[in-house]
Amino acid sequence: MNIAELEKIARALVAPGKGILAADESSGTIQKRFEKIGVQSTADSRRDYREFLFRTPAMREFISGVILYDETIRQTAKDGTPLVKIIEASGAIPGIKVDAGTKPLPACPGEVVTEGLDGLASRLADYHKLGARFAKWRAVIDIGPGIPSYDCLHANAHALARYAALCQAANIVPIVEPEVLMDGDHDIDRCYAVTEWMLKETYQELYYAKVALEGTILKPNMVISGVKAARQASVQDVAKLTLKCLKECVPPAVPGIAFLSGGQSDEAATAHLDAMSKMGPLPWTLTFSYGRALQAAPQKAWSGKPDNVAAGQRAFAHRARMNGLAALGKWSPSLEKEAA
């Protein structure tokens, strides 16, 4: 493990005004996204879509890294150029999702654990050869009556730590993603309590697994009201409580925190990041690692039609720019009207 090299990559992923494009939808998830826009999900349609995203000129200015799915890291563009090379040519770092998704956690009704540790060391070595310099593993924690349980948080935190240690041994920066879902009708205080508990467990397990925090990135949820909660917390409250929770739990050795969007609207995800960035100085750099909040607009604009590729790229460039500004605390709602 080369900690200096890992730290260099981690810091590049959270370079000022840049963030991560989470384009690592598994086949099932991308199919659901494509169904919404009336596009059949095939290897070619997935390639065409991702190729135009990665060829968008705004990548150079606002995107530091791209998280890929196994299929995508091996795919070539229409002209035969590997998609990884297109990402590298934009100045961004290729990354790879290495978890194998969630499975029900025995004896814990309604709870899941993320799998994928078996054979991970050799998969990481292969991915490094294919160009990946960082990886991602997502743990999923649901809030509901009587859940989450300690068993669920512990099992998921332990798996995250095992994954992170294996990544570092392969000279790959682990993005540690413990996602507390925003589904449900819980209030923001309940989200705070569960997020704090999961982050405490995660950093404890990372310590036991001897993970060098300097060579990691945290990808957390924001502390936010459940989507079905009667009262939705304000942007300022989300920003204040998220930062309070992160300061309680995340050591300053971590170079950066790249939030997931989790189902927030595009503009809410941007507004929350911007509000937090304006509340600095902070011990770590804040940025985005959004999937839906970066891609919903370009998917809609494209809708699978070759003639709409330019419109799709404009929509992606706009969201990338809005979030790049938000990472610097320089966004304002009026900028949204400038959608190119």
How many chain residues interact with ligand 5MM (CB under 6 A)?
16
Binding test (CB under 6 A) with ligand 5MM, winner from 46, 50, 123, 138? 138
158 binds ligand 5MM (CB under 6 A): no
Nearer to ligand 5MM, 33 or 154 (CB): 33
Burial class (CB in 10 A: 0-12, 13-18, 19+), 277: buried
Q: Given the rule CB under 6 A, which of 19-27, 153-161, 244-252, 308-316 is the region that contacts ligand 5MM?
A: 19-27
User: Who contacts 32 (Cβ-Cβ below 8 Å, separation ≥6)?
Assistant: none
- Is 35 a residue of the active site? no
290 binds ligand 5MM (CB under 6 A): yes
Q: How far is the CB of 97 from ligand 5MM (least distance, A)?
A: 6
How many C-beta atoms surround the C-beta of residue 295 within 10 A? 26
Identify residues 28-57 at the interface with ligand 5MM (CB under 6 A): 29
| 59 in Cβ contact with 88 (< 8 Å) | no
Q: How far is the CB of 224 from ligand 5MM (least distance, A)?
A: 12
Q: Mask: binding to ligand 5MM, 82-121, rule CB under 6 A, as x and -?
A: -------------------x--------------------
Catalytic pick from 25, 51, 111, 177?
Answer: 177
- Is 337 a residue of the active site? no
CA distance 31 to 42: 9
Catalytic pick from 18, 97, 136, 219?
Answer: 219
Binding test (CB under 6 A) with ligand 5MM, winner from 22, 112, 194, 275? 22
293 binds ligand 5MM (CB under 6 A): yes
Q: Mask: binding to ligand 5MM, 239-278, rule CB under 6 A, as x and -?
A: ---------------------xxx----------------
* CA-based nearest residue to 211, from 143, 278, 137, 279: 137
| 297 in Cβ contact with 266 (< 8 Å) | yes
Q: How far is the CB of 273 from ligand 5MM (least distance, A)?
A: 11
Q: How far is the CB of 14 from ligand 5MM (least distance, A)?
A: 16
Nearer to ligand 5MM, 131 or 178 (CB): 178
CA distance 227 to 329: 25
Q: How far is the CB of 186 from ligand 5MM (least distance, A)?
A: 18
Q: Mask: binding to ligand 5MM, 174-203, rule CB under 6 A, as x and -?
A: -----x------------------------
CA distance 170 to 293: 31
319 binds ligand 5MM (CB under 6 A): no
Residues that bind ligand 5MM (CB under 6 A): 22, 24-26, 29, 67, 101, 138, 179, 260-262, 290-293
Which of the residues are catalytic?
A: 177, 219
